């Protein structure tokens, strides 16, 4: 016998907190979550809700963010990306950077989701452009703040940083923020010109500033 699963795919764009019976209120973080799901769609070529064959009596519906997390939990892998995107040579670094952003946006806890202004800044840095805070103009100059060789984040020092750590291999902006109970917005605020897509081992990162 064939079993069909019917579901509204649009629910895959909705933040977990907006799907409960007690709270259906939409917030700015709900929009950030929806954007993150859309970004994952573009990167993976998959739908926001998918039917997974469990090999048992009934298939299971899985949302895209949780599927991506399960694939990349152990290590970053090209298996998560749409094969069409992999045809573009030299774009791997940018794709992984966007994947980091999308996963941050689709955190199950709203407080751990970045605000949309931080998302824009992170995407701009991946594109290799920098937006002046006092102007609307965009220049093609590379983002500063990530200095190869572990010389540190100069802007963090200018903020009278009171607590530093050195970046270790395998860490990301999101994982560091989680480890020290910071939101991604707070961590980026302490390191305003940090390029989260190009962290260097030994680079000094600010955890608290006056």
Per-residue pLDDT of the chain (210 residues; tens, 9 = 90+): 333 444 556 677 888 777 665 556 778 888 999 999 999 999 999 888 876 665 655 556 678 888 888 887 766 567 788 888 888 877 778 888 888 889 889 988 888 888 898 898 888 888 774 444 433 333 333 333 332 333 344 443 345 676 777 777 777 888 888 888 888 888 888 888 777 777 777 677 888 775
d(CA 56, CA 134): 58
Q: Which two tokens stand for residue 58?
A: 């009934």
Q: Please, which residues have CB within 8 angstroms of residue 35's CB and are 6 or more apart in sequence?
A: 105, 116, 119
56 half-sphere exposure, CB direction, 13 A CA radius: 6
Burial 51-71 (b: 16+ CB within 10 A, else e): eeeeeeeeeeeebbbebbeee
pTM of the model: 0.58
The DSSP H or E segment spanning 204 is: strand 204-209
């Amino acid at each position: 016998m064939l079993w069909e699963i019917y579901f509204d795919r649009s629910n895959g764009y909705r933040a977990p907190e907006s799907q409960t019976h007690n709270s259906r209120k939409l917030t700015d973080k709900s929009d950030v979550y929806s954007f993150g799901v859309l970004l994952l769609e573009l990167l993976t070529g998959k739908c926001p809700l998918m039917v997974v064959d469990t090999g048992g009596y009934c298939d299971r519906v899985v949302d895209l963010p949780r599927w991506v997390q399960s694939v990349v939990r152990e290590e970053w892998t090209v298996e998560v990306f749409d094969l069409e995107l992999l045809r573009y040579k030299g774009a791997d670094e940018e794709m992984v950077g966007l994947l980091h952003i999308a996963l941050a946006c689709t955190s199950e806890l709203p407080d751990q989701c970045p605000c949309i202004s931080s998302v824009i800044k992170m995407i701009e840095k991946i594109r290799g452009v920098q937006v002046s805070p006092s102007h609307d103009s965009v220049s093609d100059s590379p983002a500063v703040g990530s200095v190869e060789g572990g010389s540190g984040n100069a802007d963090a020092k200018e903020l009278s940083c009171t607590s530093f750590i050195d970046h270790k291999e395998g860490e990301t902006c999101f994982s560091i923020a989680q480890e020290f109970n910071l939101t991604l917005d707070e961590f980026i605020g302490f390191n305003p010109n940090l390029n989260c897509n190009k962290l260097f081992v030994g680079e000094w990162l600010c955890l608290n500033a006056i």
